[in-house]
């Protein structure tokens, strides 16, 4: 998983900057630093009415004088379409100019554009080069992204140890995604000796920053008693927090707890609600569980056609148990039932 930081920068904190009129006069006189700060004032409405067109004007003037932060900010505006029509070509241009000056955040964001093929032909080698340049300057986002390239073997030979090292550098700076990834590596023993205690520790750091995947994993560790004392109460807490952010695995796991009545009163109706949320996001195990609930009439009326539909969708997403049950259910369906089911399956897969 790669990340980009889209953060506008200026030279000084506004409280340290000169007042608007003085800054405006200096900008008019060609002072590049003042032009940048004036652009930021117009962009954020600091000491003057917010005006994105004027902000763009002054950022452009400063950027054309080589002000790296203005070049970077213009890259963000063009990438996101803030104050200007979205234009990846222009975003690449301004990020490149800032990156050529060694500006780590621009190098990282430019790397992400090559990584994803946004406005440019996808080029993992170029992405790695740019991430490396920024990572070597200690920029945590680039360190996380570089770790991700080694973790996935994207554009480089897969190397879990190098992935772990880059994640660790970023995680020690508080980067939540890197902390989460470290937790996963400790949990699975990839690139490091398996250590559930370390896994829960790094997962917790990321979870407490609001990162939903880490919250879901922390819930799982409490549910299994891995790295922490088994606690359904804590498992429910973290699953709920992650599920409320739309994290599909947490929604599915929370549904399981309602089915089993673990730490909560058994409720098939609530389980079905949660499985539907996760299934709509393509979570294969939730799709399988929905099929089971339909087949058994648990939490909703028994409906073998709907059971077949969800088993089929789950099977297409790699759930082997769903394929087996789909074949069993198919034996009791009429040709008309199967036709109806196939139409629904096609609609769900297209979504």
More confident residue, 177 or 83: 177
How far is residue 297's CA from residue 223's CA, in Å, rounded to a whole number?
Answer: 27
Total residues belonging to the chain: 351
Average pLDDT over residues 202-217: 98
Say whether both 180 and 101 belong to one domain. no
Query: pLDDT for 282-311, tens place per residue?
Result: 999 999 999 999 999 999 999 999 999 999
* The pLDDT of residue 4 is above 50: no
Quick one: 21 and 156 in the same domain?
yes
- The reply to whether 11 and 135 lie within a common domain is yes
Angle at which helices 68-80 and 88-100 cross, to 10°: 160
pLDDT per residue as tens digits for the range 181-201: 999 999 999 999 999 999 999
Cα 249–chain centre separation: 14
Last-in-domain residue among 244, 266, 281 = 244
**CA separation, residue 275 to residues 257, 301, 305 (Å):** 11, 15, 18
Say whether pLDDT at 158 is over 70: yes
Q: What phi and psi, each to the nearest 5 degrees, are found at residue 314?
A: -65, -40
CA–CA distance, 152 with 72 (Å, rounded to integer): 28
Q: Note whether 136 and 284 are same-domain residues.
A: no
Statement: residue 2 has pLDDT above 80: no
Contact by Cβ (8 Å): 342, 316: no
64, 105: one domain: yes
294 and 348 belong to one structural domain = yes
Which residue from 17, 9, 85 is spatially nearest to 40, judged by alpha carbons? Answer: 9
59 and 180 part of one domain: no
Distance in angstroms (rounded) separating the CA atoms of residues 12 and 22: 15
Using the 3D structure, point to which of 173, 200, 221 is the last residue of a domain: 173
pLDDT at residue number 167? 97
Q: What is the pLDDT, as a whole number, of residue 6?
A: 47
Question: What is the per-residue burial (b if ≥16 Cβ within 10 Å, else e) of 227-258?
Answer: bbeebbebbbbbbbbbbeeebbbbbbbbbbbb
Residue 58: which of 87, 72, 37 has the closest Cα? 37
Output the CA angle 9-15-20, nearest 5 degrees.
85
300: domain range? 246-351
For residue 10, pLDDT beyond 50 = no
Q: Which of 156, 173, 190 is the last residue of a domain?
A: 173
Report the chain's C-alpha Rg in angstroms: 26
Torsion of Cα atoms, 41 then 43 then 44 then 45, to 10°: 70
Decide if 103 contacts 68 (C-beta within 8 A): yes
Which contiguous run of DSSP H or E holds residue 125? helix 124-135
169, 221: one domain = no
Claim to verify: residue 161 and residue 220 sit in the same structural domain:
no
Looking at the chain, the whole-number percentage of residues with pLDDT higher than 90 is 91
Average pLDDT over residues 103-112: 96
Give the model's pLDDT for residue 350.
Answer: 78
Same domain? For 96 and 207 the reply is: no
CATH number for the domain including 203? 1.25.40.10
DSSP 263: S
Q: For position 206, what pLDDT does the model report?
A: 98
pLDDT-based confidence at residue 18 (cuts at 50, 70, 90): low
pLDDT in tens, 324-337: 999 999 999 999 99
Q: Do 4 and 66 belong to one domain? A: yes
Residue 33's H or E segment, with its range, is helix 32-44
Residue 185 in tokens: 């590596």
What torsion, rounded to 10 degrees, do the Cα atoms 116, 249, 220, 2 define?
Answer: 10
pLDDT category at 19 given cuts 50, 70, 90 is confident
Q: What is the pLDDT of residue 16?
A: 42
- Residue 126: is its pLDDT beyond 90? yes
pLDDT for residue 83: 87
Q: What are the helix (H) ranges across 261-334?
A: 268-279, 284-296, 304-316, 320-330
Helix-helix angle 268-279:248-260, to 10 degrees: 160
pLDDT averaged over every residue in the chain:
93
pLDDT value, residue 338: 94
pLDDT at residue 9 is higher than 90: no
Number of domains comprising the chain: 3
User: Residue 114 in contact with residue 144, Cβ under 8 Å?
Assistant: no
Q: DSSP label at 102?
A: T
Instruction: Indicate whether 252 and 235 sit together in one domain.
Output: no
Q: CB–CB of 295/302 below 8 Å?
A: yes
């Amino acid at each position: 998983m790669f990340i980009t930081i889209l953060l506008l920068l200026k030279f000084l904190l506004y409280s340290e900057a000169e007042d608007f009129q003085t800054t405006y006069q200096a900008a008019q006189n060609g002072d590049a630093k003042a032009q940048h700060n004036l652009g930021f004032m117009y962009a954020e409405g600091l000491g003057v009415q917010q005006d994105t067109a004027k902000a763009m004007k002054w950022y452009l003037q400063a950027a054309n004088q080589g002000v790296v932060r203005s070049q970077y900010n213009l890259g963000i505006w063009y990438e996101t379409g803030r104050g200007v029509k979205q234009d990846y070509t222009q975003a690449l241009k301004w990020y490149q100019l800032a990156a050529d000056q060694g500006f780590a955040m621009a190098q990282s964001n430019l790397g992400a554009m090559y990584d994803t093929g946004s406005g440019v032909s996808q080029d993992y080698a170029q992405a790695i080069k740019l991430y490396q340049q920024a990572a070597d300057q200690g920029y945590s986002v680039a360190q996380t992204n570089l770790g991700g390239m080694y973790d996935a073997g994207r554009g480089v030979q897969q190397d879990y140890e190098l992935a772990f090292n880059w994640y660790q550098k970023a995680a020690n700076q508080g980067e939540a995604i890197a902390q989460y990834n470290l937790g996963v590596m400790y949990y699975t023993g990839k690139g490091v000796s398996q250590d559930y205690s370390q896994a829960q520790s790094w997962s917790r750091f990321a979870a407490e920053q609001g990162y939903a995947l880490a919250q879901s994993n922390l819930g799982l560790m409490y549910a299994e008693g891995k790295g922490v004392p088994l606690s359904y109460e804590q498992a429910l807490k973290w699953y709920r927090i992650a599920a409320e952010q739309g994290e599909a695995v947490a929604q599915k796991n929370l549904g399981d707890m309602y089915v089993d009545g673990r730490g909560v009163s058994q409720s098939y109706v609530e389980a079905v609600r949660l499985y539907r949320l996760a299934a709509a996001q393509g979570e294969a195990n939730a799709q399988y569980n929905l099929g089971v609930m339909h087949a058994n009439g648990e939490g909703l009326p028994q409906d073998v056609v709907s059971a077949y539909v969800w088993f089929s969708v789950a099977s297409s997403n790699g759930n082997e148990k769903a394929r087996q049950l789909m074949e069993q259910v198919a034996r009791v369906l009429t040709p008309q039932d199967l036709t109806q089911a196939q139409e629904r399956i096609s609609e769900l897969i297209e979504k």
